Amino acid sequence: MSTRELLEAVATGAASVEEAIEQLRHLPFKDIGVATVDAHRAVRQGVPEVIFGQGKTGAQVLAISRALLESGQNVLVTRLDEPRAAELSAAIPATRYNALARVARIEPNPIERRKAAGVVAVVTGGTSDLPVAEEACETLEAVGIEVDRMFDVGVAGIHRLLHRVEQLRRASAVIAIAGMEGALPSVVGGIVSAPVIAVPTSIGYGTALAGFTPLLAMLTSCASGITVVNIDNGFGAALAVHRTIMACERALQGA
Amino acid sequence: MSTRELLEAVATGAASVEEAIEQLRHLPFKDIGVATVDAHRAVRQGVPEVIFGQGKTGAQVLAISRALLESGQNVLVTRLDEPRAAELSAAIPATRYNALARVARIEPNPIERRKAAGVVAVVTGGTSDLPVAEEACETLEAVGIEVDRMFDVGVAGIHRLLHRVEQLRRASAVIAIAGMEGALPSVVGGIVSAPVIAVPTSIGYGTALAGFTPLLAMLTSCASGITVVNIDNGFGAALAVHRTIMACERALQGA
Amino acid sequence: MSTRELLEAVATGAASVEEAIEQLRHLPFKDIGVATVDAHRAVRQGVPEVIFGQGKTGAQVLAISRALLESGQNVLVTRLDEPRAAELSAAIPATRYNALARVARIEPNPIERRKAAGVVAVVTGGTSDLPVAEEACETLEAVGIEVDRMFDVGVAGIHRLLHRVEQLRRASAVIAIAGMEGALPSVVGGIVSAPVIAVPTSIGYGTALAGFTPLLAMLTSCASGITVVNIDNGFGAALAVHRTIMACERALQGA
Amino acid sequence: MSTRELLEAVATGAASVEEAIEQLRHLPFKDIGVATVDAHRAVRQGVPEVIFGQGKTGAQVLAISRALLESGQNVLVTRLDEPRAAELSAAIPATRYNALARVARIEPNPIERRKAAGVVAVVTGGTSDLPVAEEACETLEAVGIEVDRMFDVGVAGIHRLLHRVEQLRRASAVIAIAGMEGALPSVVGGIVSAPVIAVPTSIGYGTALAGFTPLLAMLTSCASGITVVNIDNGFGAALAVHRTIMACERALQGA
Amino acid sequence: MSTRELLEAVATGAASVEEAIEQLRHLPFKDIGVATVDAHRAVRQGVPEVIFGQGKTGAQVLAISRALLESGQNVLVTRLDEPRAAELSAAIPATRYNALARVARIEPNPIERRKAAGVVAVVTGGTSDLPVAEEACETLEAVGIEVDRMFDVGVAGIHRLLHRVEQLRRASAVIAIAGMEGALPSVVGGIVSAPVIAVPTSIGYGTALAGFTPLLAMLTSCASGITVVNIDNGFGAALAVHRTIMACERALQGA
Amino acid sequence: MSTRELLEAVATGAASVEEAIEQLRHLPFKDIGVATVDAHRAVRQGVPEVIFGQGKTGAQVLAISRALLESGQNVLVTRLDEPRAAELSAAIPATRYNALARVARIEPNPIERRKAAGVVAVVTGGTSDLPVAEEACETLEAVGIEVDRMFDVGVAGIHRLLHRVEQLRRASAVIAIAGMEGALPSVVGGIVSAPVIAVPTSIGYGTALAGFTPLLAMLTSCASGITVVNIDNGFGAALAVHRTIMACERALQGA
Amino acid sequence: MSTRELLEAVATGAASVEEAIEQLRHLPFKDIGVATVDAHRAVRQGVPEVIFGQGKTGAQVLAISRALLESGQNVLVTRLDEPRAAELSAAIPATRYNALARVARIEPNPIERRKAAGVVAVVTGGTSDLPVAEEACETLEAVGIEVDRMFDVGVAGIHRLLHRVEQLRRASAVIAIAGMEGALPSVVGGIVSAPVIAVPTSIGYGTALAGFTPLLAMLTSCASGITVVNIDNGFGAALAVHRTIMACERALQGA
Amino acid sequence: MSTRELLEAVATGAASVEEAIEQLRHLPFKDIGVATVDAHRAVRQGVPEVIFGQGKTGAQVLAISRALLESGQNVLVTRLDEPRAAELSAAIPATRYNALARVARIEPNPIERRKAAGVVAVVTGGTSDLPVAEEACETLEAVGIEVDRMFDVGVAGIHRLLHRVEQLRRASAVIAIAGMEGALPSVVGGIVSAPVIAVPTSIGYGTALAGFTPLLAMLTSCASGITVVNIDNGFGAALAVHRTIMACERALQGA
């Protein structure tokens, strides 16, 4: 019995007020329309169902993918290694796999370009940061956001970055990805006024501390207004940008 | 001599090409129009000049404040304790000081409300997080962004937060501030689709690790797309929101 | 309008089903009887309102205390230093202050001894652990639980502890408090079958790591079934025991 | 010669006082009735002998299992991987193995349901926490405690947890298991008044710090009276609950 | 009633065997001659009662000192700051206070030189290590062990240490005290065959990590057979040497 | 169009001043002679192109090597394991591979000995430090700097080092490599007045902390003027020496 | 030319004083009798040459072993895994290998029992600590020291340890080995007056921190005079005991 | 008797060879000309005696200063706070004190400018880094090295640094000082080929970790050949540069 049915029963006298109070307590929240569910759904608006591949067997990934496709949704799988990607592709030939990003996408529904999103810059300090960058790019593209890749523009050869200043300033948001000392977001943050999401990577050895050194450096950045996500979390950075784009779209709708 | 003057000298033969090349090397970057300067200025558009009060003497804060006022700008001083605030107020009576936030503002120019910004929610887990929250609120208000304060809605009494779901969902961005175990942004992130900036606070003792426990917890949040700033950095969170608002304003201009 | 009133309005036709659905969304959770509120209240059953004194001014502590007393409740203030305790006592002469425990109690209502609770042992490794132990004892006593204090029975003089074996085994629960290497709970856990709550203290220097060494040691205890709370958290340990006692009381009610 | 025999020898003059003193020094403690032994046995009452499988060869596990079975006891093996479980099952066909929990049980003696225990809730934040949860469940069931499993009710989708409030509140104790930011026990602790044992898991990457982030977060929980065990220690949490149940049983016996 | 009295009562029939068994359970361990007590006493043979001054009030230190003196023992107080030392001296004029060592000694009984102990070298890397060294020296002297001080012979001027090689080799044991990089014990350990107790000090700043850097360095020493005590623990090092000297004395008695 | 060509166009009127200003903004930095590029090139003067082998496939290493050789440069590959080195050697027989150093060098151009460089000492504490030492040596030799190897002269047998004092003092710079407690650079720094670059190695277990203990020890060295590079970074130490040698060469040119 | 020969040349006029001074500078230290060498030899008196097997190939271990045997010495190899031990045994049939200890011994010379050493107790908290304990035992036995093994007497079942009090007190020194919370040495240190060398082991998971938790706990022990060695360093503990035995032997010689 | 006298005695027969050997053992190292002493002196050539002021009383600083002045040397005191500096100045009016640098200098002997040293750049990221920078500058100037100060050129406003490229490239060495994320040395290292000494400062809060974040970032710099000193160690960086200058001077002498 849904909330509506319950209330109708009260209206018709088929249920007493006491009975209704008791039942309201136990109805699934989504039935009484508690906001969390809607909010939850809202978060996912325009986002394909995402499968976090790490720790799942190939069979599990396949089963969930099929269920999502049957319910009419696109599929995005992150942290999927090549053997399991091959399994998925064998079973669902429409699968497109980006080995560098460890991301698989199955998209029966066309991705609509989010025009309000403009172009989002994904910038890396070195070529070793590419897997994380590609995870971000694939996620952005899966939600319809256009990406401008600027790779290997780290601060030890600062001219490489400065060469791209105009290009950077055209971006509606910047995902700045760096390992080692993690200085890239500080420099980028001083150059652009757009949101800058910093992603530390686990590149490097010894004092790189598996990504904790760039993480700490980014959190301590002397460029104000930079925000940071977990080490190697290209997916999270993309979703953070997506939240910004949704804010802009709401602002446009309100305008 | 500006770049333009230099080029005009070349055009008229008053300067040789060789001389011009030599001079171009030494001109201030802003003269040859290198983007960084413009970018830099752009970052500050609509932002009053900010003085980081920590480690500065009252006399230094006063001198910088006066210089800024003379150049026609509003002044925002963060991390300013009461004795130095009293000094500042004595010298410049227009100073308004928020002791909780440790923020002083001197605003000869009226703050124009940023309509595109909507309302930004500033949410805290406990009452001990108020100083950080107020620093964020003062900064937002100083750049013309309307704030909706929701304080003391931490997760150990989850109904307090759930009671505010509708209010939270109306926000164009949320700054979620919490010490202790830092769980608030995870719950908020699951409820709203707007950008969520998490600010860990140094509240707590022992295993709270002076804010590192909520910092780590927020970075590891199971709610996707949350971003994080340094411990107690209410100012930085406000500027991160400001970057988002500027992105929305650019989107509106482009629409 | 309460949930009941709303439902009655639906029953009488004074409100339509649509209107009721809309209103249900916005009613305070406690009105629609969402369990969290009841649960919350249940947690506090038999517990006086607790004021965490750290970071509050004497005036704030006094104001909250007065409000609680006016609403007919007992008051327990933790982490209250002597100057503020003196302020409180001056204003409310019924205040009893345990300086070692940094706890103040104002109890207009008599504390009823929880018979089902038996006696709870509070055991410390050294005399330096007393402040934490006393915080636990005061909290237990404030909720009506009888305490058996066994102080300074650390493991470097193991006979002191062994001398108390019978006494320990009579306890319905044991709070084992130790700094330094934190070995006490391991030995106690091997001796008794009752719940053992381990509390690390910040006693010691250098490698004691301000309590992290006993914390880690207790979490790694070779005695199974030991649980641990935050460093110096005597209050938390007492509340953990209180949860156990409430479970026993429910078991007795069900018997 | 037992203590009794010795004393009888003194009473009859067969042994001098001096000889008795000397012998008392050397008698095994269990002979002079030192409590530790009894206590030790008491701890194990109702608990099958437990074999910690990690670091033991299949042959060792088999040998110990056989010895225990021969002495008439049930066997519980934790941290046993599949190859060694297969070895054990091949040799002792009555072995039941839970691969997810990495637990094997051999129970010639029927497990008697502990009625005083009520039902213990085992709650997890995500599906990745299942191995730890299952280790806890298997241990609880092996000592006769009924389990109510509520898996994947993490805080980023808070409605999933709220949907279970009534169910949670019926539990006599709750084992709350979570990785990532470890916020689940804080929310649960605010909802129920029963004992809450928090178990951090090593799920997650980067800032999850192999379980140290949820561990620290749980120890710093803003919900009072929560206790914590070692990372991934489902077995320890179950034994902590068992200690609580034994306390309740003693309370019932005394009632 | 002592064990002997109890046994005599059994021998004379004044107590039954059953009564004796019951009583034996409850007698203080020292009465039934359990070894721990003797062992405990043995540890202290030749050691004055030691009062750890840190965290005790002047009045407490005085009270304990008086009690010890009345029972005929010498007194050694460690970690005693000047104001409390002045209090002690004012009350007990025989007090000798070493301000650098923060040690007070009151010795009504003459200290007998332990001839078997030979001479123990106390070596420091720098002059800043003196307080820790003096704490060790005072403790050694209080138990009758002769000390050879060699201060400021750190490894950055290795000739200073090499100049003392013969002197070092005459020592029956060496306490090697160093802050900063803590290299002194490694070099000393390569030069002498005697026991080397390494004491890290909290001297230095930044990467000295308040003594953890020399602590870790000493534990990782490439010179085999070096042992280490807690940071700044000169007292502990002296007692470790004392254990060695007692071992030698027992060997001599056995010879 | 280069800067010069642009300026010539302005001089001849072929370009207007406005056009020139616009173009200057977009020219590659190296064209407008911004120093960074020259500086960048200067850094590499005399340095072969270096390929960081870690994380690259054999095919990638080969491709980059071939491109460098075709452009007339020598090749230095660091962190190259044996299988990939074999691949490289098979394809380019002129490859010389130092398996211990994990370094491959292909040098069609003869290496000219840098006379101003004198001889650089590479000193290790133990034989386990050899891979790091050899990486430094190979890099130094690849840039024409003569190396004096002194291996296994650690401080626990200080005479081994003292035996080499004269030899050490002849060095124009010293690379001091050590794991364990990392004391070698402190002793060396006290003996020589030349630049000392300390390299911690990840040799050791437990408290060696994978190289962090010697790293911290070296940074805290009581020998002044020692500098430190990342753990196991023999290559970086060699390049730091190379910067020194370049400074000396510039001093010589200026003399 | 040795020092003696040089001095004889001076005595006979075959060398001038100036020449002699010059030569003395360069002679190996052992020639001019600098103490370090003697000291160094002294440290090794009675100790077989030790080969640290970790990181060495089977061939290297064999080569060094043969060289040592040819020079008439016994051989002790630590940290040697089974495959390389098999290689060694195949080549040198007299090899005895303790797989648990990972130690190989080849002893053409009979080991003389060090009578002054008495018996050294090697005590462990659990059976998982056996490899470390056996490494200590093998090393002690290789230098002629008799060992008394007491394994699996950890503090969670304190009666197991108390049962051995007399046996413990007979030991001339105790090596106390424990993982987990590392409490064993604290209890042992309170029972015996002999030197206690604590060895933390890397047993355990999560908060055991790979041995750092017992390490820190042991360094913070409330039992005075305990010393500590690196994690899992059974060999180092044995050599520390050996230094004590040598001190006793010197005391005996002096007596 | 000096070595020479001893050898002369051997030459004349006044001492036997045996006696000479015995005596050589005991002569102070400096007598037999062991290099360490000379080396030690060499290190100090051109360096005034340095007094580390931290932890010394004003009286001690004065006494040492007077002793040095009497022996004809200049004095450099580091880490000297204002009260003690005032004491020193009162007693020795020639004292010059730099309060920002916390450095006092007394220089009766004129400082000779080291021409071979060129100019050393001291660069800081922010104005908060000035105390560390001034400590470096004062030290450099005290040893005769000319300094070029470039303060507040941090990477978040990268144009400030780029504006100084030519100036930076003229430096014979660069000391790059930065707190926060510590990115400055990476950018500088990419611009210049001179030695770059990076100094992390303890500026910042939270994730700045009191200087450990810039320390780790600098050690992990993606710019090769950068070396690092301890946090806030401006003095050490200056001495490291001094070692480089001495190397250049030796190269010039050899040229």
Chain G hits for D29, Cβ within 8 Å: 159, 162-163
Residues G126 and G236 in one domain: yes
Chain C hits for B159, Cβ within 8 Å: 29-30, 34, 36-37, 40
List, in sequence order, the alpha helices (H) in chain G. 3-12, 17-26, 35-44, 58-70, 82-91, 130-142, 158-162, 165-169, 184-191, 212-219, 234-254
Q: Checking DSSP bridges between strand F196-200 and strand F146-150, what pairing results, if any? A: unpaired
Q: Is G206 within 8 Å of D232 when comparing Cβ atoms?
A: yes
Q: Is A36 within 8 Å of B162 when comparing Cβ atoms?
A: yes
Average pLDDT over residues C168-197: 95
pLDDT at position G197 is: 98
Beta-carbon contacts of A199 under 8 Å, excluding residues fewer than 6 positions away, are: A132, A136, A175, A176, A177, A178, A228, A229, A231, A232, A233, A234, A236, A237
List pLDDT tens digits, range E181-222.
999 999 999 999 999 999 999 988 999 999 999 999 999 998
pLDDT at position G8 is: 76
pLDDT at position B8 is: 75
Residues F124 and F78 in one domain: no
Chains that touch G (3 or more CB pairs under 8 A): C, D, E, F, H
Amino acid letter, G65: S
Mutate which of E26, E40, E57 to disrupt the C interface (most C C-beta within 10 Å)? E40
Share of chain E above pLDDT 90, in %: 61
* Phi then psi dihedrals of residue C152, to 5 deg: 65, 50
pLDDT at position G43 is: 37
Q: Is A222 within 8 Å of H156 when comparing Cβ atoms?
A: yes
Where do we find the tokens 């006094």?
C62
Share of chain C above pLDDT 90, in %: 61
List pLDDT tens digits, range D152-165.
898 988 888 988 99
Q: Is C228 within 8 Å of D226 when comparing Cβ atoms?
A: no
F83 pLDDT above the threshold of 80: yes
Mutate which of B78, B227, B232, B241 to disrupt the A interface (most A C-beta within 10 Å)? B227
Chain H hits for A162, Cβ within 8 Å: 158, 162
Mutate which of E181, E193, E221 to disrupt the F interface (most F C-beta within 10 Å)? E181
Residues B158 and B225 in one domain: yes
- Which residue of D162, D163, D207 is in closest CB contact with A230? D207
Q: Residue A36's closest chain C neighbor by CA?
A: C25
Q: Residue F157's closest chain G neighbor by CA?
A: G40
Which among C49, C84, C106 is the end of a domain? Answer: C106
List pLDDT tens digits, range E137-181.
999 999 999 999 999 898 988 888 988 999 999 999 999 999 999
Average pLDDT over residues H5-20: 75
Give the range among F174-188, G105-119, H205-219 with minimum mean pLDDT.
Answer: G105-119
B250 pLDDT above the threshold of 80: yes
- Look up the ipTM and state it: 0.83
DSSP D99-135: TTTTEEEE-SSPPPP-GGG-EEEEEESSGGGHHHHHH
Chain F hits for B20, Cβ within 8 Å: 7
Average pLDDT over residues H23-32: 42
G30 pLDDT above the threshold of 60: no
**Would you place residue G101 in the very low, low, confident or very high pLDDT band (cuts 50, 70, 90)?**
very high
Mean pLDDT of chain H: 86
Q: Residue A180's closest chain H neighbor by CA?
A: H220
Q: Residue D157's closest chain A neighbor by CA?
A: A40
Beta-carbon contacts of F105 under 8 Å, excluding residues fewer than 6 positions away, are: F48, F74, F75, F76, F77, F95, F96, F97, F98, F138, F142
H181 pLDDT above the threshold of 70: yes
Average pLDDT over residues D202-222: 94
Q: Please enumerate residues of E whose Cβ is less than 8 A from a Cβ of F.
A: 125-126, 154-158, 162, 180-183, 186-187, 189-191, 204, 206-209, 212-214, 216-224
pLDDT at position B135 is: 97
pLDDT at position A200 is: 97
- Which residue of A35, A118, A237 is in closest CB contact with B165? A35
Residues E125 and E218 in one domain: yes
Residue C180's DSSP bridge partners are none
E47 pLDDT above the threshold of 70: no
Q: How many interface pairs between B and D have CB atoms less than 8 angstroms apart?
A: 119
- Which residue of A157, A158, A206 is in closest CB contact with F231? A206
Taking the C-alpha atoms of residue H137 and residue D132, their distance in angstroms, rounded to an integer, is 58
F42 pLDDT above the threshold of 50: no
Q: Which residue has the higher pLDDT, C217 or B16?
A: C217
pLDDT at position E21 is: 62
Give the range among D113-127, E70-84, E122-136, G24-38 with minimum mean pLDDT.
Answer: G24-38
Chain A hits for B39, Cβ within 8 Å: 165, 168-169, 190-193
Q: Is F24 within 8 Å of B17 when comparing Cβ atoms?
A: no
pLDDT at position G29 is: 37
E48 pLDDT above the threshold of 90: no
Residue F196's DSSP bridge partners are F174
pLDDT at position A23 is: 60
**Would you place residue B28 in the very low, low, confident or very high pLDDT band (cuts 50, 70, 90)?**
very low
Q: Is D37 within 8 Å of G162 when comparing Cβ atoms?
A: no
List pLDDT tens digits, range G138-166.
999 999 999 999 998 989 888 889 889 99
pLDDT along chain A (255 residues), means of 10: 66 76 47 29 52 88 90 92 96 96 95 90 93 97 95 88 91 96 94 96 92 96 94 97 93 81
Amino acid letter, G163: H
Q: Are G121 and G151 a contacting pair, CB within 8 Å?
A: no
Chain A hits for H207, Cβ within 8 Å: 216, 219-220
Residues B119 and B230 in one domain: yes
pLDDT at position F29 is: 37
pLDDT at position H39 is: 28
Share of chain H above pLDDT 70, in %: 85
Average pLDDT over residues C232-242: 97
Q: Is C187 within 8 Å of G219 when comparing Cβ atoms?
A: no
List, in sequence order, the alpha helices (H) in F45-193. 58-70, 82-91, 130-142, 158-162, 165-169, 184-191
Nearest chain A CA: its distance from C12 CA (Å): 7
Q: How many CB atoms lie within 10 A of CB H113?
A: 11
pLDDT at position B38 is: 30
**Would you place residue H121 in the very low, low, confident or very high pLDDT band (cuts 50, 70, 90)?**
very high
Average pLDDT over residues B239-246: 95
Count of all residues that appear for chain A in the document: 255
Q: Residue A31's closest chain D neighbor by CA?
A: D163
Chain A hits for D167, Cβ within 8 Å: none
Q: Is H55 within 8 Å of E159 when comparing Cβ atoms?
A: no
Residues G129 and G91 in one domain: no
Count of domains for chain H: 2
Q: Residue F194's closest chain H neighbor by CA?
A: H243
Give the range among B7-11, C148-152, G176-180 with minimum mean pLDDT.
Answer: B7-11
List pLDDT tens digits, range G195-238.
999 999 998 899 999 999 999 999 999 899 999 999 999 999 99
Mean pLDDT of chain D: 86
**Would you place residue E19 in the very low, low, confident or very high pLDDT band (cuts 50, 70, 90)?**
confident
Total-model pTM? 0.85
Residues C183 and C87 in one domain: no
Which among H76, H106, H136 is the end of a domain? Answer: H106
- Which residue of H11, H13, H24 is in closest CB contact with G32? H24
Residues F123 and F203 in one domain: yes
pLDDT at position B43 is: 37
pLDDT at position D238 is: 97
pLDDT at position D50 is: 87
Average pLDDT over residues G69-94: 94
Residues E97 and E119 in one domain: no
Give the range among E19-28, F71-80, G191-200, H231-240 with minimum mean pLDDT.
Answer: E19-28
Q: Please enumerate residues of H whose Cβ is less than 8 A from a Cβ of B.
A: 128, 157-159, 162-163, 166, 205-208
G13 pLDDT above the threshold of 90: no
Residues B92 and B129 in one domain: no
Which among H89, H106, H123 is the end of a domain? Answer: H106
pLDDT at position D23 is: 60
Chain E hits for C159, Cβ within 8 Å: 29-30, 34, 36-37, 40
Q: Residue C217's closest chain D neighbor by CA?
A: D230
Amino acid letter, G84: R
pLDDT at position G50 is: 87
pLDDT at position A30 is: 31
Mean pLDDT of chain C: 85
Q: What is the three-class DSSP state of F128?
A: helix
Average pLDDT over residues H100-121: 92
Residues H102 and H170 in one domain: no
pLDDT at position D44 is: 40
Taking the C-alpha atoms of residue D6 and residue E10, their distance in angstroms, rounded to an integer, is 11
Q: Is E155 within 8 Å of F222 when comparing Cβ atoms?
A: yes
pLDDT at position A253 is: 85
Share of chain B above pLDDT 90, in %: 62
Share of chain G above pLDDT 90, in %: 62
Number of Cα atoms under 13 Å in the Cβ half of residue C162:
30
Residues A101 and A143 in one domain: no
Q: Is B128 within 8 Å of C55 when comparing Cβ atoms?
A: yes
Q: Is F36 within 8 Å of A157 when comparing Cβ atoms?
A: yes
CA-to-CA dists, residue C52 to C57, C79, G18, angstroms: 11, 6, 82
Q: Please enumerate residues of D whose Cβ is less than 8 A from a Cβ of G.
A: 25-26, 28-30, 34, 36-37, 40, 54-55, 202, 210-211, 215, 230-233
CA-to-CA dists, residue C186 to C174, C234, D54, G155, angstroms: 12, 18, 21, 7
Rank B119-133, E52-66, G22-36, G46-60 by mean pLDDT and report only the highest: B119-133
Rank A190-194, D28-32, D194-198 by mean pLDDT and report only the highest: D194-198
Residue H129, domain extent? 115-251
Q: What is the CATH number of the domain that holds F132?
A: 3.40.50.1970
**Would you place residue B156 in the very low, low, confident or very high pLDDT band (cuts 50, 70, 90)?**
confident
Chain H hits for E157, Cβ within 8 Å: 36, 40
